[in-house]
Chains A and B, each alone.
Chain A
């Protein structure tokens, strides 16, 4: 079966972000970028499905400017078979991304679509669910375990009270939680091999979709800063302060 994986280029999760002085956004030039960690997990899961002879082809897709080709190359080095770059210089909203991915799903007809549950920059947690709505496919969000059969995928989901297991008819949309797997590193030979794998670039205009922004970011602000407090020397002092000063315990 064919597996389609969507990935996003984001600021590296360990970078301390800086908000632009004019409040227009977060500084992302000359900042270390990386594949969104949840997308790495989606790629890893697809590769494992291929290693288990369940997936026959892995197609990775990313929407963004030319720089996102770096992350698509990484996905190829990890084991994806071919890459599709939907080229745009605009930062698109989740609904627009979902519409583009829907168009791609209609064309590629994958049996399974894997996405990260959220990107760590915009923290929206929307695209997989929106794509499920547009395709009409069932959704298995926040997946921590997958069992892919011929007609179905059984997905264990992380929910607030614990875990939930659903059985989805294929084709289906899955969004990955952190606990689904431990992504591997690409080896040097695989990085070299990735350079020869098929790589398609599609201009966004070819899709002719309504992807105009629905939202405006008026400004981006620094959250209220929390000052560091005081050092206490003993357990007794801590308890006394919590009782009498902070008054948060009886």
Chain B
């Protein structure tokens, strides 16, 4: 049996999270096909061909897949998987990253195939058994799926990225899939992508996050200055997002992004359960807060208690 990975991309390049899914899929020890659905995806095909452990690249190149609408891509994948589902050449596993792309798409595919789904998996123990966090990461469930096809979304922060081989080494064969499906029930209107020169939040080695303690959007600029010194991505607590200090795609937590960088600096964040769910697997956690009883200190490796309006400028200065 084979594994199908549904690649996520922005039209120009493959998402780092998809490379992490490849690493997760490698533990299943079976042939891995990567599906790229989109329009004019040549650059992405080339990237996919060079990923280690990818055996073949399947391409559905059509305007109907341009915006990765779940209504269209789900029918494509269902058709691809159903075709050989009883043969040894069929797909036993379908994997995506547990990003908004994967979360939107994979349950729709699973239901079309009449199978359940395993969400946000942090470990693949065997072909049918995985570990996934529940209750905002306060418990881990070991779950066995008895479905004929396992639909799995992978928590990218729990896996390393697969290597990209050099041009001469890797060139997985490419096959085109001639299935088009354009739902008339949904229409793409627009997308507002926040442009940033900083590293992407889920992939960053260092994350500097601000919370309600910053007090204002203007003060949040200090978090940005610190992030620039450390070449870090910026994160935020829900309180900071709700107060309008930063836009919501920077939210870290159960309902936002899950990150596990080498260094996570939490500034003016109390450490609610929902926030900790998004960052408690970071390698080193630094907390800066004026409340010595803040819950964040219970998990911080380094705690600095004091007024962040004095500490932050000094820290920025110290990093020179």
Question: Residues on A close to B: CB < 8 A?
Answer: 11, 13-14, 16-17, 19, 26, 93-95, 98, 117-118, 120-134, 137-139, 141-142, 144, 154, 157-169, 172, 177-179, 214-223, 226, 228-232, 234-236, 238-239, 241-242, 246, 248-249
Contact = CB atoms under 8 A, between A and B. Distances in A.
A129 B108 contact: yes
B142 to A, nearest CB: 4
B305 interface: yes
B61 interface: no
Given A125-B119, A162-B247, A248-B283, 12 more contacts: A95-B116, A123-B135, A129-B106, A133-B108, A160-B202, A164-B67, A164-B190, A167-B186, A216-B146, A223-B139, A226-B285, A235-B304
A133 B135 contact: no
B12 to A, nearest CB: 12
Nearest to B312: A235
Contacts of A144: 248
Nearest to A177: B255
Interface of B: 10, 67, 69-71, 74, 99-101, 103-112, 114-120, 129, 133-147, 183-194, 202, 206, 230, 238, 241-242, 247-249, 254-255, 257, 262-263, 273-274, 280, 283-286, 297-305, 311, 314-315, 318-319
B298 A160 contact: no
Contacts of A168: 185-187
A246 B139 contact: no
Nearest to A20: B139
10 contacts: A129-B106, A133-B109, A159-B249, A161-B249, A216-B144, A219-B142, A223-B133, A230-B303, A242-B284, A246-B302
Nearest to B120: A123
Which of B103, B119, B144, B311 has its CB near the most chain A CB atoms (within 10 A)? B103
A26 B302 contact: no
A122 B132 CA distance: 10
Contacts of A242: 263, 284, 286, 302
Given A13-B274, A142-B104, A159-B100, A179 B248 contact: yes
A165 B115 contact: no
Contacts of A220: 134, 139-142
Given A133-B112, A160-B257, A221-B140, A241 B249 contact: no
Contact of B302 (A16, A94, A221, A241): A241
Given A93-B116, A164-B191, A214-B115, A246 B304 contact: no
Which 8 pairs from chain A and chain B are nearest by CB?
A229-B301, A129-B107, A133-B111, A130-B111, A126-B107, A214-B116, A165-B189, A248-B263
A126 B119 contact: yes
A135 to B, nearest CB: 10
Given A138-B185, A217-B142, A222-B139, A132 B108 contact: yes
A123 B254 contact: yes
Contacts of B319: 239, 249
A142 B302 contact: no
B283 A178 contact: no
B5 to A, nearest CB: 18
Contacts of A133: 74, 107-112
B143 A217 contact: yes
A138 B183 CA distance: 8
A121 B138 CA distance: 10
Contact of B305 (A93, A134, A219, A231): A231
A234 to B, nearest CB: 8
B133 A139 contact: no
B111 A17 contact: no
A150 to B, nearest CB: 15
A95 B247 contact: no
Contacts of B311: 235
Contact of A218 (B74, B105, B129, B188): B129
A142 B254 CA distance: 13
B188 A166 contact: yes
B262 A137 contact: no
Contacts of A161: 10, 191, 193-194, 249
A228 B186 contact: no
B284 A162 contact: no
A13 B272 CA distance: 10
Contact of B119 (A124, A162, A218, A221): A124
Contacts of B190: 164-165
